[in-house]
């Protein structure tokens, strides 16, 4: 299976789980990864250069997906808007740029690990867009969905297994992620507490509201 891989910290538990899962003798699956930022993976998925990937929710409305996503129940820390006079969208993003417009917030959008770094260095210099969404609508925000062109049965089993897993990160993998991103290990662990993956009923409600509001832009 060709899988689009986004190497942001918010998917670290999932990618580590996939390594274990693909090595399992009972759940043998072969993955070939195509790496990129969300906007690039969106394009690769649309062009069928990958079979499955976490696709920005704004691009996933007509796609097949399993009940797995990148979800913020309230704040998320890694999707920020820096208020300023001129709009500056994040070229790596899709959903977050639309979210800022829905919330009628103007400024520079930052997503991913660079946004988390900004939050660490300047904790009072940005608006957490997931929190702003939750404050306004009292709903989680779904940033991405695990979409697929085929392999539906296999991905459904994988998503269920991931939801049952502990999401524990070995220390050596945590150290590797910290070195790659220049973000301290304790900050990574703190940050991951704000990320949810299960697309439950409340998350689906938030997703449908986002899709509905996006059509009015």
Cα separation of 216 and 204, whole Å?
19
pTM of the model: 0.94
Lowest mean pLDDT among 11-15, 25-29, 130-134, 136-140: 25-29
Work out the burial of residue 73: count CB atoms within 10 Å of its CB; fewer than 13 is exposed, 13-18 middle, 19 or more buried.
Answer: middle
pLDDT tops 60 at residue 27: no
pLDDT tops 90 at residue 31: no
Q: What pLDDT was estimated at residue 25? A: 46
Q: Are strands 195-198 and 141-148 parallel, antiparallel or unpaired?
A: unpaired
Q: What does CATH list as the number for 2-210?
A: 3.40.190.10
Cα separation of 155 and 137, whole Å?
31
- Tokens (6 digits) for 62: 């007509």
What are the DSSP E strand ranges found in 104-216? 107-111, 127-128, 141-148, 195-198
Q: What pLDDT was estimated at residue 86? A: 86
Q: What pLDDT was estimated at residue 29? A: 62
pLDDT in tens, 198-217: 999 999 999 999 999 999 98
Q: Kindly state the average pLDDT of the residues 17-46.
A: 84
Q: What pLDDT was estimated at residue 17? A: 94
pLDDT tops 90 at residue 22: no
pLDDT tops 80 at residue 23: no
Q: Is residue 85 very low, low, confident or very high in pLDDT (cuts 50, 70, 90)? A: confident
């Amino acid at each position: 299976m060709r899988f689009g891989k986004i190497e942001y910290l918010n998917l670290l538990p999932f990618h580590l789980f996939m390594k274990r899962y693909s090595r399992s003798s009972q759940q043998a699956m072969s993955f070939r990864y195509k790496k990129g930022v969300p906007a690039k993976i969106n394009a690769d998925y649309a062009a069928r250069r990958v079979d499955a990937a976490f696709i920005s929710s704004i691009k996933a409305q007509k796609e097949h997906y399993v009940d797995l996503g990148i979800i913020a129940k309230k704040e998320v820390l890694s999707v920020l808007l820096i208020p300023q006079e001129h709009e500056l969208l994040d070229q790596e993003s899709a959903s977050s740029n639309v979210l800022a417009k829905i919330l009628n917030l103007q400024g520079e959008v930052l997503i991913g690990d660079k946004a988390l770094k900004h939050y660490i260095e300047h904790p009072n210099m940005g608006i957490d867009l997931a929190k702003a969404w939750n404050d306004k609508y009292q709903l989680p925000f779904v940033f991405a969905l695990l979409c697929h062109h085929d392999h539906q049965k296999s991905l459904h089993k994988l998503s269920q297994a991931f939801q049952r897993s502990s999401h524990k990160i070995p220390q050596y993998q945590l150290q590797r992620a910290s070195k790659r991103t220049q973000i301290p290990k304790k900050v990574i662990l703190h940050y991951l507490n704000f990320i949810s993956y299960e697309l439950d009923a409340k998350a689906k409600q938030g997703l449908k509201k986002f899709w509905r509001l996006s059509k009015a832009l």
